[in-house]
Amino acid sequence: MRLLASLLVTLALGTWSADAQGNEITLIAPGGIRAVIEQLLPGFERKTGYHVKATFGSGLGTKAQVVRGDPFDVPIVQPPCPEVLASGNVVANSATPLASVTVGVALQKGAPKPDISTPAAVKRTLLAAKSIAYPDPAGGAAAGVTFEDALRKLGIFDQLQPKIRRAQGGAAAMALAAKGEVEIGVTFLSEMQTDGLEVVGPLPREIAPPTTLVGFVSAHAKDPVAAKALLAYLTAPDASAVYQANGMQPGSKPLARDLPSVCF
């Protein structure tokens, strides 16, 4: 199966790469998949001759851009996204699950690792912490939304407010933890590449379910064939190791009859 998948990707790329020189594909995605996309794009560009211009933002912000019809060839969004499908700005049957990622905990390197193995352990750890940073959900950060939902499930949202610092994005939250300006940093595992950071691990699924990222071909794509080939490259077997190295679980393409359901 791996050989067949690789062959299909090769064929998809080979159908148009000879004419790709000088052309550009635009992509928009949430910051949670940024590290993976930036590592995979150079290989795609070498194989095809296309240049990919990638723009990264918050999960909710990315969704809003797609809904209002901003001109991107390949948008990547986080379900649920019925509004994305209803907008008519994506090709519904092009929906391609790329990967899923979990919100986790990180500390300054060398700090003792707390227990976050169960919801009860997470509750004790957070109540004992002096300070906690995470990406601000008011700016559309999906990791922040998930974490605040977890705090409400644990019944400690109001109690923790005096010790919370909401950062402008996951990278900013991790920088605060790496510098020791806060005791605990929380964001997606895929955003924990900051120097000086110690990754503790993911929060339990019971309080912080994984977030899936789904790619589409835009209904306004300048070159739909090129956009499809980029999605094929991002889901090729060789991409799996890159997702995993960045704390993500690679997805797989569902059957055609299941495609619309990945956004609900």
Give me the helix-helix angle, 142-154 and 59-67, nearest 10°.
120
CA Rg, the chain, in Å? 19
Q: Would you state the pLDDT for residue 251?
A: 81
Amino acid at 64: A
In the prediction, which pLDDT does 117 show? Answer: 97
Closest to 228 measured CA to CA, from 96, 114, 34: 96
78 lies in the same domain as 132? no
3-class DSSP state for residue 118? Answer: coil
Q: What pLDDT is attached to residue 139?
A: 85
Q: Give the CATH number, domain containing residue 173.
A: 3.40.190.10
On whether both 65 and 18 belong to a single domain, the answer is: yes
Task: Name the burial class of residue 253, with classes exposed (0-12), middle (13-18) and buried (19+) by CB atoms within 10 angstroms of its CB.
Answer: middle
Residues 97 and 110 in one domain: no
pLDDT at 2: 44
Full domain range(s) for residue 109: 103-202
Same-domain check for residues 122 and 198: yes
Q: Chunk the chain into consecutive blocks of 10 residues (it has 264) and report each block's average pLDDT, rounded to whole numbers.
A: 42 47 85 94 95 93 93 92 93 94 96 97 98 94 95 98 96 96 97 94 96 95 95 94 94 47 55
178 token code pair: 């790496």
pLDDT at 81: 85
Residue 96 and residue 164 in one domain: no
* Cα–Cα distance for residue pair 262/264, rounded to 1 Å: 6
Nearest-angstrom CA–CA distance, 226 and 128: 51
* Contact (CB, 8 A) for 165 and 133: yes
DSSP 3-20: HHHHHHHHHHHHTTGGG-
Query: Residue 201 forms beta bridges with which residues?
Result: 105
Cα(264)–Cα(261) distance, integer angstroms: 6
Number of domains in the chain: 2
Residue type, 150: A
Provide the residue type at 169 as one letter: G
What pLDDT score does 262 carry?
57
Q: Which pTM value belongs to this model? A: 0.81
- With contact defined as beta carbons under 8 Å apart, do 239 and 250 qualify? yes
Does residue 121 share a domain with residue 87? no
Question: Among residues 184, 202, 220, which one ends one of the domains?
Answer: 202
H helix intervals, 104-223: 119-128, 142-154, 157-160, 170-178
Tell me, yes or no, whether 207 lies in a domain.
Answer: no
Copy the structure tokens of residue 168: 């402008």
How far apart (Å, rounded) are the C-alpha atoms in residues 136 and 157? Answer: 14
Query: Which of 178, 202, 226 is at the close of a domain?
Result: 202
Q: What is the pLDDT of residue 193?
A: 87
